[in-house]
Amino acid sequence: MDKPDILSQVRQKLLDYLRMNSLRSTPERLVLLETVYSTDAPFSAEDLSDQMQKSRMRISRATVYNNLGLFESAGLVRKVFVNDQVLFERTDRSKGTIRMICGSCGKTVEVNDERLRRQIGEMRTRRFTMTGWSLNVYGMCSKCTTSLKRKQNKLKNK
Ligand SMILES: [Zn+2]
């Protein structure tokens, strides 16, 4: 599916949600949603807020935070936990994400493991309907492992 299609779909989903909950549709809300859906990478509320401060609409921090909560309730974004940070990502990905995160430098690499993906996708849970998933695998990247070994060797040789 190409971009304009996704955008009009999520816009409609937001409008439906607002109507169902007797909330107003404001230009700020639509601009925020478009901004969220213009990027593929997970982002923090702060990042989005900074970006909106610089935009021509100058959407306040409080509005950004409130609307992220609203988008989450509407199923348009979901929280992901990367290191100790809470990030948000779009929910239109049919596939889940597997990330390997270095606990030392924070480097994050997305991995593609079809077998694991399939297994999670086929997972059946009682009283729960899966809408998506994200898996974080923690460890240490090769660069940090090498540098740690070097430091340990230095200590040994002292
Ligand atoms: Zn590292």
For 81-104, write each residue's pLDDT tens digit.
877 789 998 988 656 788 899 999
CATH topology of domain 1-92: Arc Repressor Mutant, subunit A (1.10.10)
- Ligand 1 centroid, distance to 145 Cα (angstroms): 7
Q: Where are the domains of the chain?
A: 1-92, 94-158
Q: Can you tell me the distance from the alpha carbon of 120 to that of 76, in angstroms, rounded to the nearest whole number?
A: 21
Distance of CA 6 to the CA centre of its chain: 17
Give the pTM.
0.70
Distance of CA 5 to the CA centre of its chain: 20
For 128-137, write each residue's pLDDT tens digit.
888 778 888 9
- Ligand 1 centroid, distance to 54 Cα (angstroms): 32
Q: Quick one: DSSP state of residue 103?
A: T
Residue linked to tokens 């270095």 = 102
CATH class of residue range 94-158: alpha beta
Q: How far is CA 119 from CA 110, 115, 116, in A?
A: 18, 6, 5
- Ligand 1 centroid, distance to 137 Cα (angstroms): 13
For 47-56, write each residue's pLDDT tens digit.
999 999 888 7
